[in-house]
């Protein structure tokens, strides 16, 4: 049985990936500092798979703690989710983001080098493309300076990993997510932002719940079919499946380069209004909204060409937007809020 370390494994995409890894037969170790996740997700994962992952509350900025972990566990592969991810906060506190996201990454990579863990998957983001000139976006699309320090930590992270795997002859895959949405079918785990949600769908579900009074739509004067911005919304369960397939590719040594990049998206662009209407139709709930000025740093449109992941990882999205809207709502209703 292969041992996989999942950093940030109690977070949104991390927890769904832990479930998928366990169900694929991997032994999973979680490191999480609980700065943007909840300890009860550990027992929720266990309740879904009936397998309790090993969990350590470690801050990855503490190199000594990271080394102690690697000294006492034989780790075959690492999936690295742990990072701060609030775009707006990163603009206000850039050093907090560079220190946390990059020092944490480097401590994990250093430990992998010191303790012979050979396979690494990096949670990256379509934000590295900035506002791409052409749609759909493919992996050869030229990168631009991301709109935020958060996005820059993803771009710099990829560059750090590239230099690391070339120097150490290890193997890595960077998965560039578009917009993750949805929740586990059980409704037990899902996206649980702390405070006021930055992202669209959790704001929609909290509005549906009455926690938020009204959804603000940031800009309806974009050059799109209804004036609101376009994104590619990809179900979190499909993302989890892609991580398992990517790790298997590395373990089977099928990778064709020391660092490979794959876009993970649905391939379809949806406007903000189309997402609101999709949620309303999927759940039979009216969402009150009002138009607001554009949000600083937002791009107009992004949607993925995922053909490389389809061909190389044998992966494709299988979850409909309607299902993602239903599972998001089911999770919100089951969450003690």
**Residues contributing to the site for ligand WQD (CB under 6 A):** 85, 87, 125, 127, 179-180, 198-200, 203, 216-218, 229, 231, 272, 295, 298
Closer by beta carbon to ligand WQD, 5 or else 175: 175
Nearer to ligand WQD, 39 or 196 (CB): 196
| Distance of closest approach, residue 177 Cβ to ligand WQD, in angstroms | 6
SS3 (DSSP) at 174: strand
- In angstroms, give the least distance from the CB of 29 to ligand WQD: 23
DSSP state of 150: H
* Per-position DSSP letters for 79-104, written without gaps between them: EE------HHHHHH-HHHHHIIIIIH
What's the CA gap between 124 and 151, in Å, rounded?
Answer: 9
User: Running DSSP on this structure, what letter comes out for residue 164?
Assistant: H
Contact 223, 300 (CB under 8 A): yes
Q: Nearest approach, Cβ of 17 to ligand WQD (angstroms)?
A: 13
Q: Which is nearer to ligand WQD, 29 or 222 (CB)?
A: 222
Q: Classify the C-alpha dihedral 285-268-308-104 as positive or negative.
A: negative
- 150 included as an active-site residue: yes
- 127 vs 205, beta carbon nearer ligand WQD: 127
Smallest separation, CB 291 to ligand WQD (Å): 9
Catalytic residue among 12, 84, 129, 150: 150
The phi, psi pair for 275, rounded to 5°, reads: -70, -45
- Alpha helices, DSSP H, located in 4-39: 12-23
State the minimum distance, in angstroms, from the CB of residue 253 to ligand WQD: 29
Nearer to ligand WQD by Cβ, of 10 and 217: the residue is 217
Measured from the CB atom, the residue of 110 and 199 that comes closer to ligand WQD is 199
**Do 136 and 230 contact (CB within 8 A), yes or no?**
no
Rounded-to-integer distance, Cα 10 and Cα 34, Å: 8
Inter-residue long-range contacts of 138-146, CB under 8 Å, 24+ positions, other chains counted:
138/263, 138/305, 138/307, 138/308, 139/176, 139/261, 139/262, 139/263, 139/308
**Shortest CB 27 distance to ligand WQD, Å:** 27
Tokens 């799109």 correspond to what residue? Answer: 224
Which residues are known catalytic residues? 150
């Amino acid at each position: 049985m292969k041992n996989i370390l999942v950093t940030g494994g109690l977070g949104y995409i991390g927890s769904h990936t832990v479930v998928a890894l366990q169900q694929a037969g991997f032994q999973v170790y979680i490191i999480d500092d609980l700065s943007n996740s909840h300890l009860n997700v550990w027992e929720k994962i266990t309740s879904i798979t009936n397998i309790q992952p090993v969990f350590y509350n470690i801050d990855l900025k503490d190199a000594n703690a990271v080394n102690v972990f690697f000294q006492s566990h034989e780790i075959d592969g690492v999936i690295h989710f742990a990072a701060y991810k609030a775009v707006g906060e990163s603009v206000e506190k850039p050093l907090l983001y560079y220190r946390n996201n990059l020092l944490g990454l480097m401590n994990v990579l250093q430990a992998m080098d010191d303790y012979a863990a050979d396979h690494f998957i990096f949670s990256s983001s379509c934000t590295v493309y900035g506002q791409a000139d052409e749609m759909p976006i493919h992996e050869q699309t030229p990168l631009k300076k991301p709109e935020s320090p958060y996005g820059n930590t993803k771009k710099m992270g990829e560059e750090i990993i590239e230099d690391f795997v070339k120097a150490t002859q290890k193997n890595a895959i960077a998965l560039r997510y578009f917009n993750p949405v949805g929740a586990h079918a059980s409704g037990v785990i899902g996206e649980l932002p702390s405070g006021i949600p930055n992202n669209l769908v959790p704001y929609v579900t909290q509005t549906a719940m009455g926690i938020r009074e009204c959804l603000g739509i940031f800009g309806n004067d974009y050059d799109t079919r209804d004036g609101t911005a376009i994104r590619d919304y990809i179900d979190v369960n499909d993302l989890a499946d892609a991580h398992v397939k990517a790790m298997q590719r590395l373990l089977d040594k099928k990778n064709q380069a020391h660092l490979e990049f794959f876009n993970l998206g649905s391939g379809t662009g949806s406007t903000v209004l189309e997402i609101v209407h999709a949620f309303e139709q999927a759940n039979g709930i009216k969402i009150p909204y009002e138009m607001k000025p554009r949000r600083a740093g937002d791009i107009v449109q992004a949607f993925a060409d995922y053909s490389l992941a389809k061909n190389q990882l044998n992966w494709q999205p299988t979850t409909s937007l309607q299902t993602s809207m239903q599972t998001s709502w089911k999770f919100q209703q089951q969450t003690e809020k």
